[in-house]
Amino acid sequence: MSINHSVGVRNLHFLNYPDGGIRQSQGETNNLKALLEQVNPHCVFVPHWGEGWPDHVNAAKIVKSLVSENVEVYEYCVWLWYYNVWHLDWKNARVLRMTEEEHRQKNKSIDGYVTPLAPCGNPWSGVLPTLLIKALKHHQELYFKIR
């Protein structure tokens, strides 16, 4: 397992796929294709195949279908900890160890997602499993290089 010290994200782009309804045949996919052609990345990060969450799985399939074979593809883990995924490709695992500041920013982002309450008094995101929150707040990130 190798250790990376920085992912080096330079640009962050948001698309308007509908929550819970990401599909290959949507107009947003054409926008993503144009963006990838414009940015011409040397690597991309997509949700891990074992996520079990349909939007994550579909997003990964879409991105992998749009990038050329010479683009490195890494899968990252979000829900993987919740779904008992076996047969992981540990020889291609990568670990990102965060600085204290990076970890603080990550936790702030997670808290911003799970803390705000809807008018009914529950979090907007719903109540996420404790195991998932614990995994997300860890000081390290796990990635798998798939090509």
Q: Assess if residue 90 is contained within a domain.
A: yes
Q: Domain count of the chain?
A: 1
How do residues 80-126 score in pLDDT, each as one tens digit? 777 777 888 999 999 988 889 888 888 887 777 777 777 777 766 66
Q: Assess if residue 36 is contained within a domain.
A: yes
DSSP string, the chain: -EEES-----------PPTT---TTSHHHHHHHHHHHHH--SEEEEE-TT---HHHHHHHHHHHHHS-TTSEEEEE-SSTTTTT-----GGGEEEEEPPHHHHHHHHHHHHHHHSPBPTTSSBTT----HHHHHHHTSSEEEEEE--
Q: Which residue has the higher pLDDT, 80 or 72?
A: 72
| Res 1 pLDDT > 50 | no
| Res 4 pLDDT > 60 | no
Q: Assess if residue 6 is contained within a domain.
A: yes
Q: Any idea which residue has 């879409």 for tokens?
A: 62
Q: Assess if residue 111 is contained within a domain.
A: no
How do residues 32-63 score in pLDDT, each as one tens digit? 999 999 989 999 999 998 888 888 899 999 99
Token pair of 133, please?
């929150």
Q: Assess if residue 114 is contained within a domain.
A: no
Q: Assess if residue 38 is contained within a domain.
A: yes
Q: Assess if residue 134 is contained within a domain.
A: no
Percent of the chain with pLDDT over 70: 88
How do residues 113-140 score in pLDDT, each as one tens digit? 777 777 777 766 667 777 777 777 888 8
Q: Which residue has the higher pLDDT, 145 or 129?
A: 145
pLDDT given at position 6: 53
Burial of 30 (0-12, 13-18, 19+ CB in 10 A): exposed
Query: What's the domain range around 71?
Result: 2-97+140-145
Distance CA 30, CA 26 (A): 7
pTM for this prediction: 0.78
Distance CA 39, CA 62 (A): 16
Q: Assess if residue 130 is contained within a domain.
A: no
